[in-house]
Amino acid sequence: MGDVLVLVDHAEGSVRKPTLELLTLARRLGQPVAVHLGPGAEAAAAVLGEYGAATVHAVDAPEFEQYHVVPKVDALEQIARQVEPAAILVPSSAEGKEIAARLALRLEAGLITDAVDVRAGDEGPVTTQSVFAAEWTTTSRVTKGTPVITVKPNAVAPEPAPTTASVVPATVSFSAAATGTKVTSRTPRATTGRPELTEAAIVVSGGRGVGGAENFALIEALADSLGAAVGASRAAVDAGWYPNSQQVGQTGKSVAPQLYVAVGISGAIQHRAGMQTSKTIVAVNKDEEAPIFELADFGVVGDLFQVVPQLTEEIKRR
Ligand code: FAD
Cα distance between the two ends of the chain: 47
Q: What is the pLDDT of residue 177?
A: 86
* Number of neighbours of residue 78 by Cβ within 10 angstroms: 18
Percent of the chain at pLDDT above 90? 81
Mutate to test the pocket of ligand 1, among 216, 285, 307 (most ligand atoms within 8 A of CB): 285
Q: What is the pLDDT of residues 234-246, one digit of tens each?
A: 999 999 999 999 9
User: Is pLDDT at 78 greater than 70 in this prediction?
Assistant: yes
Per-residue b or e along 238-248, where b marks 16 or more CB atoms closer than 10 Å to that residue's CB: ebebbeeebbb
Q: What is the pLDDT of residue 53?
A: 98
Please state the atom number of ligand 1 nearest to the C-alpha of residue 284.
20
CA distance 3 to 30: 6
CA distance 309 to 318: 14
Q: What is the pLDDT of residue 66?
A: 77
**CA 274 / ligand 1 centre spacing (Å):** 13
Residue 195, helix vs strand vs coil: coil
Beta bridge partners of 3: 31
Taking the CA atoms of 132, 137, 141 and 146 in sequence, report the sign of the dihedral they define. Answer: positive
Q: Which of 199-203, 224-228, 240-244, 302-306 has the lowest mean pLDDT?
A: 199-203
Q: ipTM for the complex?
A: 0.99
Is 234 annotated for ligand binding?
yes
**CA 11 / ligand 1 centre spacing (Å):** 33
Reported confidence tier of residue 189, pLDDT bands at 50, 70, 90: confident
**Closest residue by CA, ligand 1 atom 1:** 266
Task: Give how far Cα 83 sits from Cα of 112, 250, 312, Å.
Answer: 20, 37, 51
CA distance 297 to 262: 11
Q: What is the pLDDT of residue 67?
A: 75
User: Is pLDDT at 299 greater than 90 in this prediction?
Assistant: yes
**Which residue, among 292, 286, 293, has the nearest Cα to 269 in the 3D structure?**
292
Average confidence (pLDDT) over 51-71:
92
For residues 134 and 218, which has the higher predicted lDDT (pLDDT)?
218
Reported confidence tier of residue 160, pLDDT bands at 50, 70, 90: very high
Is 264 annotated for ligand binding?
yes
Give the single-character DSSP code of 188.
Answer: P
Q: For helices 69-83 and 94-107, give the axis angle rounded to 10 degrees.
A: 50
What is the rounded average pLDDT for all residues in the chain? 94
CA distance 41 to 266: 45
Q: What is the pLDDT of residue 133?
A: 67
CA distance 308 to 299: 13
Taking the CA atoms of 132, 96, 158 and 204 in sequence, report the sign of the dihedral they define. Answer: negative
Beta bridge partners of 298: 282
Task: Give how far Cα 173 sits from Cα of 17, 62, 105, 133, Å.
Answer: 29, 12, 18, 41
**CA 234 / ligand 1 centre spacing (Å):** 7
What is the β-pairing status of strands 3-7 and 136-141? unpaired
Q: What is the pLDDT of residues 7-54, one digit of tens each?
A: 999 988 899 999 999 999 999 999 999 999 999 999 999 999 999 999
**CA 238 / ligand 1 centre spacing (Å):** 10
Q: What is the pLDDT of residue 13?
A: 87
Contact present, 10 and 38 (Cβ < 8 Å): yes
**Closest residue by CA, ligand 1 atom 15:** 209
Q: How far is CA 140 from its chain centroid? A: 20
Q: What is the pLDDT of residue 59?
A: 97
Average confidence (pLDDT) over 279-290:
97
